[in-house]
Structure 1
């Protein structure tokens, strides 16, 4: 197959700048169009001939790194074009998270030193909770170790401030990609796409090639869905407990058949299974097809999610034992760390990717 479209950049001029390199490769893909049906990225590419920086940011966050396009491409190394679109878009995607994060600089530090940063923060906050729990207090269940008032005073700012930071980053993203006011139809389309994660099913719905070149699998989509729905169930458990506490004067602890536990226990199990699956898949995947030098941040995020879910389940199983205080401190330390690092970890990618899906709905409607 020959390229029959004039390229705006030199197809062989590899750049160290992630946006420039992604633009070079996208222009070649737009000229070739062999992978047009692989995922949402390729139809989006064909809607333009010239790609501004905001277009590259949008395409990078629309990419799910399923890697099928790489294994199907005829222009990968040793061809002179040396295409590796999954890696190029991964580099541009991480660059966008780091640039758009607020305050600036923290995302870059976490992406490079995530494991050490998360571990130290978990331990430091766990020691803080252990010290607070040693103070005289009262209450039933976990409140015997840490009062409800103390939990609210600590976790409410730790929950709201990261949301503000994410909101600032999303506002910057929306401006950069040229986003327009969102309609209910566009929002519905993005929600359905995110819920099914159809872009992780490959171009023909047979699965993606994340682990190996020859093997098509839906395993990555399934573990992502387990983590996402598990997290939503756990969030629902917390929200329902808050409603029961403040509106119905029903404070914790709650029984196994209560709404918080009916949501939280399955949610925790899904998160543990999903994060374990993600770790296993990443160990079998080719690291050259992802963002280089950022594996620590990505691994830290997955381990942190799994740690929070696992310690929550163990804490519930071993409640009212001699281990309750130490387990509670570790669990709350993990939860607080997860909240504080959300705008700078890969947790933020869920927000950016959802915004990219909405923007894709808008541009597709213009096509």
Structure 2
């Protein structure tokens, strides 16, 4: 996968390796300084290990107008974006989403919402709550394949990534270390724990780290809520709807609120950030993904608040349309970056234990 982006990243990595001023900034620089020659796989690993906190850019003495013209966050972001497109399956879908992500997300939600409204006009199999609009059997028939497909697609992507970066057999200790780093968002805290420079060049902030944590933990709570509802339905013969004190509600409500708050926060940060320190061509895809996350969470909360009103069928159609879009587009959106970052952290844990 020899490209201009890889060549430019290699040039900048070699200069950074000679300078070593940013050695303590994040996990990228110890990994970078452990190499003398950078293969395509090395650069792909460094790119996915980078969390684009941008602290190294503002600390660097070789940025423009210096003749070296270093912009390592951008160089790695472009390699990272290219790797996601190259490893994705099917690859063509990933390239299309990155260039027109916001429009594709909007079109997908609209089309699937109309689809669910059309199903409703054909009649429901009956049931309480949401199942009076769309039967449980219909929901399972639609969403089970939509849930399995992205897992299959991402498994292919991860296998390609692991092969390209010369990944070794994984041990439990590697996984534990990687998950610990991801849970704390360690690489968004900066080398000294002050945060990153994503908002302003002279201001360290934890905002981006906290916004990511709100979205991540909100999503995990919502996933746990859905899992709890599934267990109650099949194992205990307790179908929805569930009362406010039930486990699905106790997990889902705070999860939805965290996702809404975190998504809005991330969108605000992205609008303020310098696009030239990331991959400019991927901005629309990234914003489309965050907007899709926001819509999933927001419509879920609105359904809870207005589930007994005449607006429920419309809200349900929009919510289901956004959830189905989210599942099917996951391998091509920035949702996939969580899997790549985790794989990169596992690979980094291997490197540290080998050296």
TM-score normalised over the length of structure 1: 0.95
**2:121 corresponds to:** 134
> 1:301 and 2:289 equivalent?
yes
CA distance in 2, matches of 1:16, 1:295: 21
Correspondence 1:43-122 to 2 at 5 A? 43-122=30-109
| Residues 120-161 of structure 1: per-residue CA shift (max 9 Å, x gap) | 110000000011122222100000000000000000000101
Gaps of 5+ in 1: 1-14
Gaps of 5+ in 2: none
Correspondence 1:122-201 to 2 at 5 A? 122-137=109-124, 138-201=126-189
**1:21 corresponds to:** 8
Correspondence 1:150-299 to 2 at 5 A? 150-299=138-287
Q: C-alpha displacement at 1:16, in angstroms?
A: 7.2
**1:12 corresponds to:** none
| Residues 58-98 of structure 1: per-residue CA shift (max 9 Å, x gap) | 00000000000000001100011100000000000000000
Q: C-alpha displacement at 1:220, in angstroms?
A: 0.4
CA distance in 2, matches of 1:285, 1:121: 27
- Choose from 331, 350, 354 the match for 1:362: 350
CA distance in 2, matches of 1:255, 1:32: 60
Correspondence 1:330-345 to 2 at 5 A? 330-345=318-333
C-alpha RMSD of matched pairs (Å): 0.9
Greater share of residues in helix = 2
Q: How many residue pairs align between the two structures?
A: 353
CA distance in 2, matches of 1:85, 1:319: 49
**2:299 corresponds to:** 311
| Residues 88-112 of structure 1: per-residue CA shift (max 9 Å, x gap) | 0000000000000001111110000
> 1:41 and 2:28 equivalent?
yes
| Residues 208-260 of structure 1: per-residue CA shift (max 9 Å, x gap) | 10011011000100000000000000000111100110011000001111111
CA distance in 2, matches of 1:336, 1:310: 15
CA distance in 1, matches of 2:120, 2:151: 27
CA distance in 1, matches of 2:121, 2:98: 35
Conserved? CA contact 1:134–1:145, under 8 Å: no
CA distance in 2, matches of 1:223, 1:210: 12
Conserved? CA contact 1:40–1:199, under 8 Å: yes
Q: C-alpha displacement at 1:46, in angstroms?
A: 1.0
CA distance in 2, matches of 1:24, 1:261: 52
